[in-house]
């Protein structure tokens, strides 16, 4: 090879190297901005989630990712399903308070029409960034049912993205077990202390059994059969496994990432802050510190390790 050609070849490989580095930096930056966009949207939803203090989205995302993995999905596919689960109700942002605080069965016809739009609104919101295209598609379908009785497009069976079918199962369970009606008669200070935390925990265990029974009874009509079986297995696994851990009482300020919450904690209004089985993460710790400072949860809580 002539010196000139060698120099030109070296120059080419160097420039390719530089280009690759630049691309690396660019894609890392794009990934960072993508992730921070997701974080911002998650906190927006958590703020809007009047019933669960953010616990709902976290639960759906964690369990959906586990089911996706068990179904054989990997890497980015799992990430997409997990992110769609985290943001599944983003289309409800901006719903008026009187809709957010009602059960579906309490909606008027007009309110139902607004509610039915939230999957499409979610897809629309995310369509501004092409990175969210498939996440938006999953969100668009999260209320479709296997038998075609869902909305907005009455898709059925395999027409529905598997991510949406997973979210549908986990979302049903969490709503059935943890969603509480915000009873306006209980909002006076004098009646707040009357809500019994132990009774709420016992009630949530009973609700869990009922929700599992319902999922099993509808696994060939409304829900995806394989997803229901995997999810029920997860619920049973959590129940059996968590009971074998050492339980200790720990100050909310000293909670560490190797701990698991040992019982459901609610605000005095009966809204779930953290559920039994949730891993302690920074946002969990921050929420508990906030509510402990308000006197809504004890300064020391039960955790497992
Ligand atoms: Fe929804
Ligand atoms: Fe939901």
Taking only the tens place, the pLDDT of each residue in 78-124 is 999 999 998 998 898 878 777 777 777 888 999 999 999 999 999 99
For residue 17, the CA-to-ligand 1 centroid distance in Å is: 46
278: which 2 tokens?
Answer: 């949730």
Task: Name residues whose C-beta falls within 8 Å of residue 42's C-beta, 6 or more positions apart in sequence.
Answer: 54, 57, 86, 87
Distance 212 CA to ligand 1 centre (A): 20
CA distance 199 to 69: 35
Query: How far apart are the CA of 256 and the centre of ligand 1, in A?
Result: 32
Ranges of residues in the chain whose predicted pLDDT is under 50: 1-3, 6-14, 182-197
| 68 CB burial (10 A radius; 0-12, 13-18, 19+) | buried
Q: What is the pLDDT of residue 44?
A: 72
Q: Are 296 and 272 in contact (CB under 8 A)?
A: no
Between the CA of 245 and the centroid of ligand 2 the distance, in Å, is: 29
Q: Indicate the angle between helix axes 55-70 and 225-242, nearest 10 degrees.
A: 110
Ligand nearest to the CA of 176: 2
Find the angle CA(128)-CA(134)-CA(136) to the nearest 5 degrees.
55
168, two tokens? 């549908």
The dihedrals phi and psi of 2, each to the nearest 5 degrees, come to -65, 155
pTM of this structure = 0.72
pLDDT at position 183: 44
pLDDT at 6: 47
The β-bridge partners of 261 are: 303
Residue 101 CA to ligand 1 center (angstroms) comes to 14
pLDDT of residue 201: 56
Confidence at residue 185, expressed as pLDDT on a 0 to 100 scale: 38
Q: Which ligand has the minimum distance to the alpha carbon of residue 121?
A: 1
Of all ligands present, the nearest one to the C-alpha of 152 is 1
Q: For residue 175, give the ligand nearest its CA.
A: 2
CA of 142 to the centre of ligand 1 (A): 7
């Amino acid at each position: 090879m002539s010196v000139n050609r060698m120099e030109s070849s070296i120059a080419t490989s160097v420039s390719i190297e530089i280009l690759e580095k630049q691309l690396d930096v660019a894609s890392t930056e794009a990934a960072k901005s993508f992730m921070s966009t997701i974080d911002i949207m998650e906190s927006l939803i958590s703020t809007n989630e009047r019933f669960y203090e953010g616990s709902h989205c976290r639960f759906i995302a964690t369990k959906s990712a586990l089911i996706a993995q068990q179904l054989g999905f990997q890497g980015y596919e799992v990430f997409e399903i997990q992110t769609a689960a985290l943001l599944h109700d983003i289309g409800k942002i901006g719903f008026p308070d009187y809709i957010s605080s009602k059960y579906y069965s309490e909606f008027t016809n007009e309110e139902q029409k607004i509610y039915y739009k939230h999957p499409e609104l979610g897809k629309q919101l995310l369509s501004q960034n092409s990175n969210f295209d498939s996440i938006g598609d999953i969100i668009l379908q999260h209320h479709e049912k296997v038998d075609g009785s869902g909305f907005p497009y009455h898709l059925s069976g395999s027409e529905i993205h598997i991510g949406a079918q997973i979210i549908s199962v986990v979302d049903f369970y969490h709503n059935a077990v943890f969603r509480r009606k915000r009873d306006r008669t209980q909002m006076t200070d004098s009646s707040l202390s009357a809500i019994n935390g132990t009774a709420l925990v016992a009630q949530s265990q009973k609700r869990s059994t009922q929700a599992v029974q319902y999922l099993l009874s509808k696994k060939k009509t409304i829900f995806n059969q394989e997803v229901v079986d995997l999810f029920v297995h997860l619920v049973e696994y959590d129940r059996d496994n968590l009971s074998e851990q050492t339980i200790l009482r720990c100050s909310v300020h000293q909670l560490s990432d190797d701990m698991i919450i040992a019982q459901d904690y609610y605000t005095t209004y009966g809204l779930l802050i953290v559920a039994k089985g949730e891993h302690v993460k920074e946002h969990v710790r921050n929420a508990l510190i906030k509510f402990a400072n308000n006197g809504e949860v004890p300064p020391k809580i039960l955790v497992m390790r």
